[in-house]
Amino acid sequence: MFRRRGTLRGRLTARLVLFQALAIVIVAATGIYVLMLRYGIEGVVIGEQDSLIVAQAVERAPDGALAIRETPDLADLRARSSGLWFVVVDRAEGRIVEGEVPQTYRGIVESLSSLGTANFADTSDAGTLAASLRVAESAAGRVHVLVGGSPTQAVWGAVLAVTARAVVPIVLTLAFVAILAIAWIIRREFRGVDRAAALAATIDAGKRGTRLPEDNLPAELVPLVKAVNTALGRLDEGYARQRRFLADAAHELKTPIAILQTRIETSPPGEERDRRLLLDIARLGNLAEQLLDTQRLDHSRGSFAELDLVGLARGVAADLAPLAIAAGYEFGFDAERAHFAVQGDRPALERVIVNLVQNAIAHGGGHGAIAVRIDPDGVLEVADEGAGIAAEERDRIFEPFHRTRPSDRGAGLGLTIVSDIVGRHAGRIAVDGAEPSGTVFRVILPAIEAGG
């Protein structure tokens, strides 16, 4: 089962919001820790709302002095606080004092108008010395209110409450901004991706040569698009090669079929016609077999195993010796080392030797010697004493259906198959020998390291 993945926009948004929230929580936790160190985790404080309740009850009397009116919130606070006391001062040094101010705070009452907001925690067992100082707006203007004797709460609870009220709006605001910002950024930055995706959707077998645009893409996606374009290039090249191969194959089949048909229609019955017909049929069969070999190479790597190239070559040479001798050649096999281990597909490597020997028989001129050798470095050589290959032809002899001489009766696929097989075995093939000194094909395959 494949796990369904969300959109990139959704994942980025969720993770960004999560990381932002985590960062805010860490900062808030650090702040709480600092406050705990300052006030003590066992201390108690008065809620900040008590000072605001008193400030909202402050008014100006007809004579301009400060006065307190009984508001519902103040009445409720009095009912909940048996020892309530407070001090209110304004800029004009007007003052209201209600209740018994503890001795601890009498020293700051005179300078209350010069102080700012503060919480005074009480760490004693009595819990009666906690106080709250707030600067607030009232009906009489800005006032400084110092309140004590009202219900208290633990320092950590008060800090957590304040922190929660501050953190939640920040997180929600950042989440909202992140959702909008990421959606806009991704839409803007991924315009190139959308364009490339739309173009990719139009690619099919009948529309070759198309490449995805690499501009206006995020840097992280450029390597992927380049890799896709490289793959498209390889597919185009393969498709072109396949079309050329099919066209050449059709042409190659057309000629022997036409010759065979002409012989059947025009030649008089007899042994000569039968011999010629058999040769033409053999040529068609060999061409069909080579076409099948080419397709097998394209669709399968075969079964690779450790092989002894010397033993394999000796066995194939023994099987081909009667064929070469019947064609008028001397034939020999020579190995300058007892064993040479390679990793490969036995039938495919046997086909390499068979095709090279058949090529030597076809182009050796019908005389001289054909030799299969393994040199001291494990290089496989197949040599003949024929007319040789011109230097300008050596790079083209491995192309499909290429012939060094138009009169050749071969299909021109044998050396192509050899080159493909050697390449699939991570090896290489070289040809040497100029006219008229004969030809030597050398197949170099990687050896299996000792102990590997």
Specify the pLDDT at position 411.
47
Task: Find the mean pLDDT for residues 36-46.
Answer: 64
Residue 61: HSE in the Cβ half-sphere, 13 Å Cα cutoff? 8
- Say how far apart CA 428 and CA 193 lie, in whole Å: 41
| Mean pLDDT, rounded, of the chain | 77
**168-178 per-position pLDDT tens digit:** 777 778 777 77
CATH 3.30.565.10 fits 302-444, yes or no: yes
pLDDT level of residue 417 (50, 70, 90 thresholds) = confident
Whole-number pLDDT of residue 342 = 92
Confidence at residue 407, expressed as pLDDT on a 0 to 100 scale: 43
Structure tokens at 84: 């309530």
* pLDDT single digits (tens) 337-365: 999 999 888 888 888 888 888 888 888 88
- Would you say residue 408 has pLDDT above 90? no
Q: Note the pLDDT tens digit of each residue in 189-234.
A: 777 777 877 777 777 766 677 777 777 777 777 788 888 888 887 8
The per-residue pLDDT for range 72-110, each reduced to its tens digit, is 998 998 888 888 899 999 887 788 998 888 888 888 888
* Euclidean distance between CA atoms 340 and 324, whole angstroms: 25
The domain ranges of the chain are 8-38+160-189, 48-150, 203-300, 302-444
What's the Cα-to-Cα distance from 65 to each of 55, 83, 140, 197, 399, rounded to whole Å? 15, 25, 9, 77, 112
Name the band, by pLDDT with cuts 50, 70 and 90, for residue 59. Answer: very high
pLDDT at 373 exceeding the cut of 90? yes
* pLDDT level of residue 269 (50, 70, 90 thresholds): confident
Residue whose C-alpha is closest to residue 340's, from 289, 373, 374, 314? 374
